[in-house]
Amino acid sequence: ATATADAPVRVNQLGYLPDGPKRATVVSSTTAPLPWQLHDSSGTVVASGATTVRGADQASGQSTHQVDFGAYTGTGTGFTLVVGGQASHPFDISASLYDGLRTDSMSFFYQQRSGIAIDAALTGAAYARPAGHLGVAPNKGDTNVPCQAGGCDYRLDVRGGWYDAGDQGKYVVNGGISAWEIVNSFERARRSGAEAALGDSTLRVPERGNGIPDVLDEARWELEFLLRMQVPAGKPMAGMAFHKMHDAEWTALPTRPDLDDKQREVHPPSTAATLNLAATAAQCARVYAPYDAAFSARCLDSARRAWAAAKAHPDVLAPATDNTGGGAYEDADVSDEFYWAAAELLATTGESQYRDAVTASPHHTKPADGFWWGGTATLGRITLATVPGVNLPADDLTRVRGLLTSAADGYLCTMAGQGYAVPIPATGYVWGSNSAVTNNAMVLAVAYELTGQQRYRAGALESLDYLLGRNALDLSYVTGYGERSSENQHHRFWAHQNDASLPHPPAGSFAGGPNAGLEDPVAKAKLPGCAPAACYVDDIGSYSTNEVAINWNASLAWLAAFAAERRGT
């Protein structure tokens, strides 16, 4: 049996953990179970059984069967699963399966850095590039940037940070959730005693060897940018955060960052951005305290000022129309950002003013909704539920934990109802759907931490199976991981598809994923009539299905670090 380019046996193409779930999906309209065999690399059948018929799957539009080979406990490389004479792509079964992805998905952020040369010694020559946006010609920014007309009458130094995605804008709301996820990944790993894997000299970053965990070095590059985006004291709306900064017009594809000659502009402050700053700076104050007391204090001061400014200006909303040259990141409801910021400030300071804001928020008792850049309440819930010693009554903390495990139970139920065990419903294939999968999988992982119940860990791991090839397209959405993986994500420098002298995205780059909305010209042309989970094309022009973005990679990196942890079970 051989794998075809579109094998009907869909596996996690990277593989499976010896102590994790091992399931696959078979595309077949046969209504009777089919025999399956697991072959090792020498072709020997090491396990066999019969499929479970699952029938029509709404998200993929396919008829499916399920294979469960979880009883097999061997390890090795080059396994294949064979059904009806068709073999899956080869895969491994190994405890170290996710070690590489943990590093690569986290190293993505160094390569997205603005304001620093990307060093060939760290990335390989193909990915090296000069520093972008330091005001060196032809760049006009980001060291002396005018506020957009009407915003303010002074200039700012807002260098640094990460480019958001395939574009080179820098947006506080998306920077906030991304930095939070990276820092939270470390905070979580420290609670489980596994922070060494994210420690110093674990990443390909220039700060390796400085005695500080590399994950925190990387997140600090963004945090320093977020701090710079705060309106200075003495200016109108002091303490608020500017919503975003980006080019005055969209740049062409490709445009290497240092070759961008467009005017960079800071856009007016927003309450949402201000609360993203308050939340991430409060988290920063807590998590960096053991490593750099001065930075921790700077973060806390900024967080307090941001919180006060947001309370004074609670409804300054970024408009959806402000999308020339960069994304709008509009948000009409900032109640969830208030809750998240209050939760972070409470967890860091224990102060009653923040506790009162938490307990008065409608989000404190609502079911835990899925989080994303525009909906951040569950980030606050995760912090309240997991950080030791939060100053809330014990029964209240128990209740918040229960909201998270209930949400996790909901995701398990959603997964169980589908041919491809995805923790989003058939209606959930929107722009960046892959990050809805990783974000929901994070909640499953948190539920595992809170309860120790294996079904939650299994759900988190099975979500990775979907992303790494067990899906409607038989494709891994992570560059370099799996036999068939995305490699033409929308990006202005990793634009090999448009210019052969430029590289593909580096290993560990995560595509946005299927988007039934078909919101770009390439998707409209190539994907008419697609089933939701098949509305994806690995084409650089399809920014609505195939962009990379810091909020998506941050969530993947969080999940990869969770999956890579050895649990000795």
- Least Å distance, CB 32 to ligand 9MR, is 42
- Cβ nearer to ligand 9MR, comparing 169 with 532: 169
Q: Does 549 bind ligand 9MR (CB under 6 A)?
A: yes
**Segment interacting with ligand 9MR (CB under 6 A) among 46-54, 108-116, 163-171, 528-536:** 163-171
- Least Å distance, CB 247 to ligand 9MR, is 11
- Least Å distance, CB 336 to ligand 9MR, is 15
Binder to ligand 9MR among 146, 161, 325, 432 (CB under 6 A)?
A: 432
Binder to ligand 9MR among 164, 322, 538, 565 (CB under 6 A)?
A: 164
Q: Where are the alpha helices (DSSP H) in 288-351?
A: 293-312, 335-349
Question: How far, rounded to the nearest angstrom, does the alpha carbon of residue 251 sit from its chain's CA centroid?
Answer: 25
Q: Cβ distance 494 to 504 under 8 Å?
A: yes
Count of alpha carbons within 13 angstroms of residue 346, beta-carbon side: 29
- Cβ nearer to ligand 9MR, comparing 167 with 465: 167
Alpha-carbon torsion (31, 33, 35, 40), positive or negative: positive
Q: Cβ distance 512 to 431 under 8 Å?
A: yes
Q: If you write DSSP's letter for every residue of 132-153 in order, what string do you get?
A: -SSS-TT---SSSEEBPTTT-S
Binder to ligand 9MR among 186, 307, 411, 431 (CB under 6 A)?
A: 431
Binder to ligand 9MR among 3, 26, 82, 165 (CB under 6 A)?
A: 165
**Segment interacting with ligand 9MR (CB under 6 A) among 214-222, 271-279, 408-416, 542-550:** 542-550
3-state helix, strand, coil in the chain (%, to 5): 40, 15, 45
- Cβ nearer to ligand 9MR, comparing 169 with 541: 169
Catalytic positions are 490, 538, 547
- Cβ nearer to ligand 9MR, comparing 187 with 547: 547
The two tokens of residue 251 are: 């740049």
Q: Per-residue string for binding with ligand 9MR, 487-516, x by CB under 6 A?
A: -------------------------x----
- Least Å distance, CB 77 to ligand 9MR, is 35
Q: Does 199 bind ligand 9MR (CB under 6 A)?
A: no
Q: Is 363 exposed, middle or buried (0-12, 13-18, 19+ CB in 10 A)?
A: buried
Q: Does 547 bind ligand 9MR (CB under 6 A)?
A: yes
**Segment interacting with ligand 9MR (CB under 6 A) among 159-167, 217-225, 403-411, 520-528:** 159-167
Alpha-carbon torsion (151, 153, 154, 155), positive or negative: positive
Residues whose CB is less than 8 angstroms from the CB of residue 146 and which lie 6 or more positions away in sequence, other chains included? 155, 263, 265, 266
Q: Does 520 bind ligand 9MR (CB under 6 A)?
A: no
Residue 282 CA to residue 184 CA, distance in Å, equals 12
Q: Cβ distance 551 to 467 under 8 Å?
A: no
Residue 135 CA to residue 351 CA, distance in Å, equals 42
The phi and psi torsions of 261 (rounded to 5 degrees) equal: -105, 10
Q: Which of 10, 25, 81, 34 is nearest to 57 (CA)?
A: 25
Q: Where are the alpha helices (DSSP H) in 41-200?
A: 99-111, 120-123, 172-191
Q: Per-residue string for binding with ligand 9MR, 298-327, x by CB under 6 A?
A: -----------------------------x
Question: How far, rounded to the nearest angstrom, does the alpha carbon of residue 311 sit from its chain's CA centroid?
Answer: 29
Q: Does 390 bind ligand 9MR (CB under 6 A)?
A: no
Q: Does 245 bind ligand 9MR (CB under 6 A)?
A: no
Binder to ligand 9MR among 167, 207, 247, 565 (CB under 6 A)?
A: 167
Q: Does 428 bind ligand 9MR (CB under 6 A)?
A: no
- Cβ nearer to ligand 9MR, comparing 447 with 478: 478
Residues at the interface with ligand 9MR (CB under 6 A): 164-165, 167, 169, 327-328, 431-432, 512, 543, 547, 549
